[in-house]
């Protein structure tokens, strides 16, 4: 937020119009974003339009954020009329938001892949900065979308506040003080690949979230996407399929848990992305770095970071929707991405059978009953023809696949005519 807050204040003081945000989705996190913008960034930015399948949820998101003037719109003309009259616009047609001239920044908050893709592409074509709260999309075709955004002269970024963005901030800080980052890590409280929407129903109800969404947190799919995004933004890789994912006794300080990593493994390559279960502070993030200069080592030891060769830096929290407006401002005012791919994919998220799968069975939603995601190198994913989980939903099994086996493209029949499959081919060709 430092520098961003001053820039936003100056933007408003100079009489410039607020940064206009168009949002897709009105769920738990999306509603939080509207609340944060309306309460902490009033006059500096505004959510001009929300698209959601259930318009009443979008209206409620506005109302809960203190804005009771939302108008439901069914056409481009109606949307423009509402916004120009100073009202919040709500629609069931997300393409109206993606292409609206009254939107500067396009914020995607659905977690969907197939549904989000045409909207993101349209928003890029219409000159809008792209901000994603959608790790699944970013981890599947992010490098291609970033290349398209670059060509269009707009920013493509995932959000600060979610773990990947917080890790990237910390990575940039560590690198910026002259320490070489060799691991970017996530701190988790639970990891069980066999969790399902049934086992997570109670937790989901308690926090007002979808059972499938919280299942993807628990079964490893979400963290695999998050760490793939970080790898693609830093040039790092994974040490092995699924990452190390060390589990420690609850409350173990991350500075102690970090000692489980082999310095030789981390320092001899491009660095890795990984996670630890049970460490404190959770749910924070951490970066391990190294430095060669003996005098600088002496200073780091003086500053209580130890004798090395690995030094542990950490952020004790991630605040999700609270930090999304900062991402929006960084994109709109500075042309800066909180986190984005630097080239082609380095780490993918592959599909693993959550149970014994039978021929003819259809793969259900992410965080469902049939598959969970694990991080794997892009090179192995390609060479073994492994099935990315971002394209797996709706695929039908041609043959039985046993529990915990990685699925390949040869194991499934994909739905015909999907945009995601065409873009995966385009991405592979672009970064061959």
Residue ranges per domain, the chain?
Answer: 4-162+322-334, 163-319, 347-430
Q: What is the 3-state secondary structure (H, E, C) of 187-207?
A: EECCCCCCCCCCCCHHHHHHH
List phi, psi (to 5°) of 196: -135, 170
Q: How far apart are CA 401 and CA 390, in angstroms?
A: 18
**Residue 390 pLDDT:** 97
Q: How far is CA 87 from the centre of its chain?
A: 30
| DSSP character at residue 115 | T
Domain 4-162+322-334 indexed as CATH 3.40.1210.10? no
**Residue 111 pLDDT:** 84
Taking CA atoms, 166 is separated from 184, 319, 396, in Å, by 10, 9, 37
pLDDT at 195 exceeding the cut of 90: yes
Helices (H) and strands (E) in the chain, counts: 17, 16
**Residue 237 pLDDT:** 98
Residue 300's pLDDT band (cuts 50, 70, 90): very high
Interval 168-181 mean pLDDT: 98
Find the helix or strand (DSSP H, E) in which 124 lies. Answer: helix 116-125
Tens digits of per-residue pLDDT, 58-70?
A: 999 999 999 999 9
Find the helix or strand (DSSP H, E) in which 257 lies. Answer: helix 254-257
Beta strands 246-253 and 272-280: pairing type? parallel
Interval 155-177 mean pLDDT: 97
Interval 84-90 mean pLDDT: 97
Q: How far is CA 392 from the centre of its chain?
A: 18
- CB-CB contact of 190 with 278 (8 Å): no
Q: What angle do CA 337, 221, 241 make, to 5 degrees?
A: 95
How crowded is residue 12: how many other Cβ atoms within 10 Å of its Cβ?
A: 17
Interval 10-27 mean pLDDT: 96
- CB-CB contact of 54 with 44 (8 Å): no
**Residue 208 pLDDT:** 83
Output the DSSP codes for 220-249: SHHHHHHHHHHHHHHT-B-SSTT---EEEE
Nearest Cα to Cα of residue 46 among 64, 33, 28: 33
Tens digits of per-residue pLDDT, 237-287?
A: 999 999 999 999 999 999 999 999 999 999 999 999 999 999 999 899 999
Taking CA atoms, 140 is separated from 16, 60, 186, 224, 341, in Å, by 37, 31, 20, 11, 11
How crowded is residue 235: how many other Cβ atoms within 10 Å of its Cβ?
A: 13
Q: How far apart are CA 386 and CA 145, in angstroms?
A: 21
| DSSP character at residue 380 | H
Interval 342-363 mean pLDDT: 98
Residue 332 tokens read as: 């709109």
Residue 104 tokens read as: 């500067």
- CB-CB contact of 31 with 60 (8 Å): yes
Residue 88 tokens read as: 């919040």
Cis preceding-peptide flag for 283 (omega within 30 of 0): yes
Mean pLDDT over each residue of the chain, to the nearest integer: 97
Taking CA atoms, 362 is separated from 132, 175, 218, 365, 379, in Å, by 28, 45, 22, 10, 27
Tens digits of per-residue pLDDT, 303-336?
A: 999 999 999 999 999 999 999 999 999 999 999 9
Interval 44-57 mean pLDDT: 97
pTM for this entry: 0.96
- CB-CB contact of 133 with 159 (8 Å): yes
Q: What is the CATH number of domain 347-430?
A: 3.90.1210.10
Q: How far apart are CA 133 and CA 159, in angstroms?
A: 6
4-162+322-334 and 347-430 have identical folds: no
């Amino acid at each position: 937020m430092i520098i961003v807050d001053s820039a936003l204040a100056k933007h408003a003081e100079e009489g410039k119009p607020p940064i206009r945000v168009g949002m897709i989705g009105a769920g738990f996190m999306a509603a939080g974003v509207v609340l944060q913008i309306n309460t902490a960034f009033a006059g500096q930015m505004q959510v001009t339009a929300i698209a959601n399948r259930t318009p009443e949820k979008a209206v409620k998101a506005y109302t809960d954020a203190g804005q009771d003037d939302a108008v439901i719109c069914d056409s481009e003309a109606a949307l423009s009329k509402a916004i120009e009259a100073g009202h919040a616009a709500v629609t069931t047609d997300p393409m109206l938001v993606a292409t609206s001239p009254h939107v500067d920044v396009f914020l995607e908050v659905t977690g969907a892949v197939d549904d989000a893709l045409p909207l993101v592409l349209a928003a890029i074509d219409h000159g809008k900065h792209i901000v994603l709260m959608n790790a699944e999309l970013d981890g599947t075709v992010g490098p291609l979308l970033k290349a398209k955004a670059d060509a269009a002269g707009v920013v493509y970024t995932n959000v600060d506040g979610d773990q990947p963005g917080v890790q990237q901030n910390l990575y940039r800080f560590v690198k910026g003080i002259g320490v070489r980052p060799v691991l970017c890590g996530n701190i988790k409280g639970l990891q069980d690949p066999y969790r399902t929407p049934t086992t997570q129903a109670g937790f989901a109800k308690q926090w007002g979230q979808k059972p499938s969404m919280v299942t993807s947190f628990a079964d490893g799919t979400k963290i695999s996407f998050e760490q793939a995004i970080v790898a693609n933004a830093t040039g790092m890789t994974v040490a092995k399929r699924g990452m190390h994912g060390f589990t420690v006794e609850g409350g173990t300080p991350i500075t102690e848990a970090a000692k489980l990593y082999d310095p030789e493994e981390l320092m001899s390559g491009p660095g890795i992305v990984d996670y630890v279960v049970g460490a404190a502070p959770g749910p924070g993030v951490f970066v391990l770095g190294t430095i060669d200069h003996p005098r600088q080592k002496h200073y780091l030891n003086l500053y209580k970071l130890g004798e090395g060769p690995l030094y542990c830096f950490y952020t004790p929290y991630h605040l999700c929707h609270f930090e999304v407006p900062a991402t929006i401002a960084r994109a709109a005012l500075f042309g800066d991405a909180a986190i984005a791919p630097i080239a082609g994919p380095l780490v993918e998220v592959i599909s693993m059978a959550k149970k014994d799968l039978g021929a003819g069975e259809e793969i259900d939603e992410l965080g469902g009953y049939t598959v969970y995601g694990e991080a794997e190198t892009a090179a192995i994913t390609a060479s073994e023809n492994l099935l990315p989980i971002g394209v797996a939903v709706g695929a039908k099994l041609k043959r039985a696949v046993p529990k915990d086996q990685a699925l390949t493209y040869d194991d499934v029949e994909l739905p015909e005519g999907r945009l995601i499959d065409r873009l995966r081919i385009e991405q592979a060709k672009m970064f061959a």
